[in-house]
Chains A and B, each alone.
Chain A
Amino acid sequence: MEKIPILRMGKFLLVTIQVDMHDRLALQLQEDLTERIVAVRARGVLMDISSLEVVDSFIGRMISNIAAMASVLDAQTVVVGMQPAVAITLVELGLSLEGVRTALNVERGMALLNELVAAELR
């Protein structure tokens, strides 16, 4: 079965979505990610959506859900790389992804995750 790969980088999980996901695949990712967070005791999730050309309400909801679920499991989520056209469309659609932290690119997202986790330990 088709799956979105989840990579582990130290205490973080890295997900790069590179395909046009159908709804079942998005739900599968949600499930896989929560399982992996628990299995490896991840402290953070970095989701790279720079290849996503469309984020509709379903995918938008999946992104929000992942952030909420990760938070309940004591992990931070940062979404990076949203294309400008996607951001414009999302807001017009009526989705603002409240509660989801974002960063411009993977590098900044990693830095933000490190800061968030370090702040928790203080």
Chain B
Amino acid sequence: MPIVSRAVLPIRSQEDIVRVRQAARESAVAQGMTLVDQTKLVTAASELARNTLNYGGGGEVEIVRIEELPRKGVRLTFLDQGPGIPDVEAALRDGFTTGGGLGLGLGGARRLCNEFSIDSTPGKGTRVTIGRWR
């Protein structure tokens, strides 16, 4: 799977969430995605970056542009070393929240992307990967 570009951004502050949105947008544009697809990817990235900051205690995101011609896509992997998610199934349900939010972040991000996977170990951290293909 040819990787065209790879970047890692820290997620340590609210300003970093804005930077993740901008970087996700740039990658989506570079891959020639439509405006709607760009917006879906960026919105999903924003939700997950906020989760990484607010629930994971901060972490990082790896943004990769992939080409499997004729397919082009962007994949983002969010990593934190936070408390982890004890019940991933519950966390994916709309309305489930432990932080006073709307509980749409994780489930919403999954709906907005073509690829979604989550791997969380209580006490160790969480890794969420999303991908969107043109």
Contacts and interface: CB of A to CB of B under 8 A. Distances in A.
A57 B102 contact: yes
Contacts of A94: 94, 104, 107-108, 111
A55 B43 contact: yes
B67 interface: no
> What is the predominant secondary structure among interface residues of chain B facing chain A?
helix
Nearest to B54: A23
Contact of B40 (A22, A24, A60, A89): A89
Given A54-B46, A57-B47, A86 B102 contact: no
A57 B103 CA distance: 9
A115 interface: no
Nearest to A93: B108
A21 B14 CA distance: 9
Interface in A93-115: 93-95
Given A57-B101, A85-B39, A94-B94, A22 B14 contact: yes
B21 A93 contact: no
Contacts of A53: 25, 39, 42
B14 A95 contact: no
A18 to B, nearest CB: 14
Contact of A61 (B18, B102, B112): B102
Interface in A50-103: 53-58, 60-61, 83-86, 88-89, 92-95
A21 B17 CA distance: 10
A31 interface: no
Given A92-B111, A93-B111, A94-B104, A56 B36 contact: no
A88 B17 CA distance: 22
A20 interface: yes
B31 interface: no
Contacts of A89: 36, 39-40, 43, 112
28 contacts: A20-B18, A20-B22, A21-B18, A22-B15, A22-B17, A53-B39, A53-B42, A54-B39, A54-B46, A56-B43, A56-B46, A56-B47, A57-B47, A57-B108, A58-B101, A60-B102, A61-B101, A83-B39, A86-B39, A88-B36, A89-B36, A89-B40, A89-B112, A93-B43, A93-B47, A94-B94, A94-B104, A95-B102
Interface of A: 20-24, 53-58, 60-61, 83-86, 88-89, 92-95
